[in-house]
Chain A
Amino acid sequence: MKRKIFVIEDDQPILDLMELLIKKLGYEPVLVAHAPESLEMIQHDPPALILLDVMMAPMNGWELLAWLRKDKNTREIPVILFTAAPSVKEKMAQMDDPHLGMLQKPVSFTELKAEIERFLS
Chain B
Amino acid sequence: MDRYGPLSRINISHTDLVRLIVIFSLTISCIVITAVSLSANIGTIYAQLFYFPILYATYFYPKRGLYLAGVCAIAYEILAYVYLYPDTGILIYTTGQAVLFICIAAVVAHFTEKVNTSEARYRSIFETSLLGIVLFDQNSFAIRMTNNYLSQMLGYTPEEFVGMTLPQLFFSKEEQRKFFEYLGSSKDVNNFETQFVVRNQDPLWVNLSWRRVSDNQVSCSVIDINKRKCAEQAADENYTRYQQVTEGSPTCIIITRDQKIVYTNPAFHHFSGYDAGELAGKDLLPLIYNDDKADFRNISAHPENQNGKTDKVEYRFLSKSGEIRLAAAFFSPISQKGETSLLINLVDITEKEQLKERIEQDNERRRGIISTVAHELRTPLQPIMGYLNLLTEDPQTYGVTEETKVILDRCAKSVDRERQIINQMLELSVLDAGKIPLSYSVFSPAGMIQSIIDAGGYTTKADLTVDIPPNLTFEADASKISTVIESMLSNAVNYSKPPRKIRISYQSSASDKMHRIAIQDNGIGITNTQLDEIFEPFQLPDSGNISRKYDRIGLSLSIAKKYVQMHGGYISVDSIVNLGSTFTIHLPKTRSMVVKANEA
Contact = CB atoms under 8 A, between A and B. Distances in A.
Of A20, A86, A87, A110, chain B has the most CB atoms within 10 Å of the CB of: A86
Given A24-B390, A106-B415, A110-B389, A86 B426 contact: yes
B430 to A, nearest CB: 7
Interface string A1-45: 000000000010110111011001000000000000000000000
Contacts of B430: 86-87
A41 B383 CA distance: 26
Contacts of B386: 14, 17-18, 20-21, 106-107, 109
A86 B374 contact: yes
Contact of A86 (B371, B380, B384, B412): B371
Contacts of B415: 106
Contacts of A21: 386, 389-390
Interface in A53-93: 55, 84-87
B45 interface: no
Of B378, B379, B430, chain A has the most CB atoms within 10 Å of the CB of: B379
B385 interface: yes
Contacts of B393: 24, 109
B387 interface: yes
Contacts of B19: none
Interface of B is mostly: helix
Contact of B385 (A11, A20, A85, A108): A108
Contacts of B378: 84, 104-106
A117 to B, nearest CB: 15
A14 B394 CA distance: 19
B213 interface: no
B371 A109 contact: no
B369 to A, nearest CB: 12
B419 interface: yes
Contacts of B13: none
Of A16, A24, A105, chain B has the most CB atoms within 10 Å of the CB of: A105
B375 A85 contact: yes
B106 to A, nearest CB: 131
Contacts of B354: none
B381 A17 contact: no
A26 B290 CA distance: 67
Contacts of B376: 84
Contacts of A87: 371, 430
Contacts of A106: 378, 381-382, 384-386, 415, 419
A85 B379 CA distance: 9
Contacts of A109: 386, 389-390, 393
Interface residues of A, number: 21
Contacts of B384: 106
B383 A16 contact: yes
A85 B416 CA distance: 17
Contacts of A85: 371, 374-375
A87 B430 CA distance: 9
B30 to A, nearest CB: 140
B496 to A, nearest CB: 28
Contacts of A55: 375
Contacts of B371: 85-87
B363 to A, nearest CB: 16
Interface string A83-121: 011110000000000000000111111100000000000
Contacts of B426: 86
Nearest to A17: B386
A33 B374 CA distance: 22
A13 B379 CA distance: 9
B441 to A, nearest CB: 16
A105 B382 contact: yes
Interface in B363-412: 371, 374-387, 389-390, 393-394, 412
A72 to B, nearest CB: 33
Contacts of A16: 383
Contacts of B383: 13-14, 16-17
B139 to A, nearest CB: 104
Contacts of A14: 379, 382-383, 386
A84 B390 contact: no
Interface in B141-164: none
A37 to B, nearest CB: 21
B100 to A, nearest CB: 140
A57 B507 CA distance: 55
B394 A24 contact: yes
A2 B412 CA distance: 30
A16 B384 CA distance: 12
A55 B412 CA distance: 25
A21 B382 CA distance: 12
Contacts of B382: 11, 13-14, 17, 84, 105-107
Given A21-B390, A106-B419, A84 B375 contact: yes
Of A11, A84, A87, chain B has the most CB atoms within 10 Å of the CB of: A84
Contacts of A108: 385, 389, 412, 416
Nearest to A54: B375
Contacts of A107: 382, 385-386
Contacts of A110: 389
Interface string B334-363: 000000000000000000000000000000
B379 A11 contact: yes
Nearest to B429: A86
Nearest to B385: A106
A104 B379 CA distance: 10
A112 to B, nearest CB: 8
A84 B379 contact: yes
Contacts of B377: 84
Interface of A: 11, 13-14, 16-18, 20-21, 24, 55, 84-87, 104-110
Given A20-B390, A24-B393, 15 more contacts: A13-B380, A13-B382, A16-B383, A17-B382, A17-B383, A17-B390, A20-B386, A21-B389, A84-B379, A84-B382, A85-B371, A85-B374, A86-B374, A104-B423, A107-B385
20 contacts: A11-B379, A13-B383, A14-B379, A14-B382, A16-B383, A17-B386, A17-B387, A20-B390, A24-B393, A55-B375, A84-B374, A84-B375, A84-B377, A84-B382, A85-B371, A86-B374, A86-B375, A87-B371, A105-B382, A107-B382
Report the 8 A-B pairs with minimum CB-CB distance, sorted nearest first. Answer: A109-B389, A84-B378, A106-B381, A106-B382, A17-B386, A106-B385, A13-B383, A84-B375
